[in-house]
Amino acid sequence: MYRGEERSDRIRVGIVGTGFIARGLMMALEGQTDLALGPVLTRRPMLGGSGLPTGITAVNDVTDLIEGSDIVVECSGDVIHATAVIEEVMAASIPVVTMDAEVQVTTGSHFARKGLFTEAEGDQPGCLAALREEAVQMGFLPLVYGNIKGFLNHNPVPDEMAFWAKKQGISLDKVTAFTDGTKVQIEQALVANGLGAGILRPGLLGPATPDLTAGAELLAAGAVSLGRPVSDYVLSPGAPAGVFIAARHDERFRDYLRYYKMGEGPVYTLVRNFHLCNLEIAKTVRRVVSGGGVLLNNGTRPAVSVAAIAKTDLEPGQRIERGIGSFVVRGICVPIADCPDHVPIGLIYDAVVKRRVAAGSVLTMDDLDLPESLALDIWTDIQGRKSVVPS
């Protein structure tokens, strides 16, 4: 029984983080009849001038977050911090919803074994999971779980990223991770692990095409060759900012699907042409508190991870402040079985390079000094369990 089931008033939704998504969620919870904004956990000593809604209860202690919450939404984007917080929250038997694929693919498999831990609808992975539920209920057999990306530059420059960060009101590291492809790699690794899909190659295929359907069909052909569904993306600037599933259906319904404007088949593309992040999180919160269970998480035995790859030559003694959103490394999907010693990009915070790494190389644990953290311990444990699922 969740704490909220013992209460006659609204479900208290605690939040971890005070960034772009967290602020939007706070606003989205205002005026809800069934959900109430609980404590907001922040590491900031002061919140004045931060742009947060008025009247929030900001706390610096996880204990206060736990005491004031029936369910917690984690959307900090900081793997090290979030992992430590989630560990305490779940130890208190409070369910956790994330809008944080970075945490899911790095330490999420640990939490998937501990209780109710799910990614939210609203970001691309959660939207794909929801679209899959609808597709399967209609009899479709998914071949591709696809992300739609409009722009990609593996090596953006700081000045350009600073301009877009200011223009969009999003942090510099987030804009950089979106631009260099790290974010889509993280999202599709989560989709692969959570939905039991494979990947066609390290770094994904990501065909560039103005025709979304053509790209979906190309990836579907790869899935047929692989013999299982795949997780990937298309680079299609004119396509909607959403997700898609390429799927087959029973041949008996071919005439119906043609009539419904789905094309000639045998592969059909189902498109969800939006993902509204903070506005959709409440749907997953309600799913959880009503007993609907997990929408998507990284699974307990992941097959795919996101490795750090050097954008430039790295020299001994060089410090990397953070991996996700860095100008010296980016992330690519890799099969864990093929790269057992890789460094997950989500673990790189205040890391020091131990030996020279050439540009384009995947970083290994021997290449970096990583500070001790619960997240690092969890990853070591996950590796020790070894995935049994081929990618």
CB 363 within 8 A of CB 309: yes
Note the pLDDT of residue 50. Answer: 55
Note the pLDDT of residue 388. Answer: 37
Note the pLDDT of residue 54. Answer: 75
Note the pLDDT of residue 55. Answer: 78
Note the pLDDT of residue 159. Answer: 97
Note the pLDDT of residue 131. Answer: 98
Domains of the chain, by residue range, sit at 11-120, 124-270, 304-385
User: Pseudo-torsion of CA 388, 182, 201, 262, nearest 10°?
Assistant: 100
Tell me, yes or no, if the two domains 11-120 and 304-385 fold the same way.
Answer: no
- Specify the pairing of strand 268-272 against strand 349-353: unpaired
CATH of domain 304-385: 3.90.1210.10
Note the pLDDT of residue 112. Answer: 97
Strand partners, 229: none
Per-residue pLDDT tens listing for the chain (391 residues): 344 444 458 999 999 999 999 999 999 999 899 999 999 999 887 555 455 777 788 999 999 999 999 999 999 999 999 999 999 999 999 999 999 999 999 999 999 999 999 999 999 999 999 999 999 999 999 999 999 999 999 999 999 999 999 999 999 999 999 999 999 999 999 999 999 999 999 999 999 999 999 999 999 999 999 999 999 999 999 899 999 999 999 999 999 999 999 999 999 999 999 999 999 999 999 999 999 999 999 999 999 999 999 999 999 999 999 999 999 999 999 999 999 999 999 999 999 999 999 999 999 999 999 999 999 999 999 988 654 344 4
Note the pLDDT of residue 111. Answer: 98
Q: Which CATH superfamily is domain 11-120 in?
A: NAD(P)-binding Rossmann-like Domain (3.40.50.720)
Tokens encoding 344:
């997950």
Note the pLDDT of residue 296. Answer: 98
